[in-house]
Structure 1
Amino acid sequence: MKKNILYFIVVLILSSALVSFAGCGSDEAVIELDGERFLQDPPTDIDRGQPECAAIVPDEPMEITEPDGVTVYVCGAVNSPGVYTLDPGLRIVDAVSAACGLREDADECYVNLATLLEDGQRIYIPTREETAESRGELITVGTDGSSDRDGGKVNINLADAAELMTLPGIGEAKASLIIEYRNQNGRFGTIEDIMKISGIKEGMFNRIKDRICI
């Protein structure tokens, strides 16, 4: 009888040791039900009430698209006036070449051919006759040797930088802005439009309005 009891105790101790060894280092739980043992899977993050980790998706780099080209309108004394689309970074001389070059009567010194093109720009090339008329109207020498400006006003649509600089308050910088405005926007519609030039306000306009024309 004592041997049976001792045997039962040894078996119980060994069984307990085996169960402890099987569960060591694992989150699996052992459940005993009606004398049968079942292994339970370890709890997940959701079971523990912890949120699942969201997958991290790296941001895709933004693609910077460069303009396909600049579209300009070339008109005046060129062989093939029209609208042309050219590569960015080109200059007025390239636009003139696209328009099959200057005509024989073009005044190639009137426009700065080295100016960079801008999208939507209007490029007008005058003839030598047009610019000569502008110069002729600038100053007419009277019989008394004085300058007669009654009919010799500065045509702000045709005058070059030197002619524009004869106006009071118009220096080299403002003359360049006037010519650049004409190259990009075409002719002035009224003499008041000259106030669209940076630095030319009503006060300066009142000083030159009687000496300019379009």
Structure 2
Amino acid sequence: MNLWNRRKAAVIFVLMVLIVGAALYWEETPRQGKIPLDPEAVMTKQREQKARPSLHVYVSGAVMYPGLYDLAPGLRYADAIRKAGGMTDEADETRVNLAKKIKDGCQVNVPLRKNRRPAAGKAPPSAGVLPAREKGRRKEEGAARTPKINPNEAPQEELERLPGIGPETARRIISERNAAPFQSVDDLLRVKGIGPKTLSRFRELVEVLP
């Protein structure tokens, strides 16, 4: 074979290699788009979605666990109250707009049910305005019949009987007193979830003893 034929054969061989390589490349390219998703990539994406900014909402009043909660955007007052353990038996749900949307930094307050007065014409025989001295005497008798709770010694079940105190807050009271016993009723404000309003609801029902 002369020099010209050798060069011609070499050129043909190179062209065939390029054609085969191009065919293989175009055949493989569509398959790359059909590669299954990596499970780790899916989990990373889910974690990123969960890490979206949340709204800080303060839930107070007649709920089981008053306090500050982080909620997702788009939720409503009903979701915030549910997050706080729901309403207590003393709550007046008719005075709360459960359908209202929450906003960052807002307060969702559940008011207490107002005391209902006896219907007209059905008042008990002893109804009427009592003298101040008689009111004081009855109040003292009622307090004497109901022993006060010592937050430094009371078990969790007894602490949960206090208005506005649920299982979680009761456990926090026990943890706080173990770290440093309470010296006064106002020391209960150290406990997370107990604010001035909550404390005012059971102030007369507790007595701090060493």
TM-score by length of 1: 0.30
Q: Which structure would you say has the larger RCO, counting Cα contacts within 8 Å and 6 or more residues apart?
A: 2
TM-score by length of 2: 0.30
Structure (1/2) with the larger strand percentage: 1
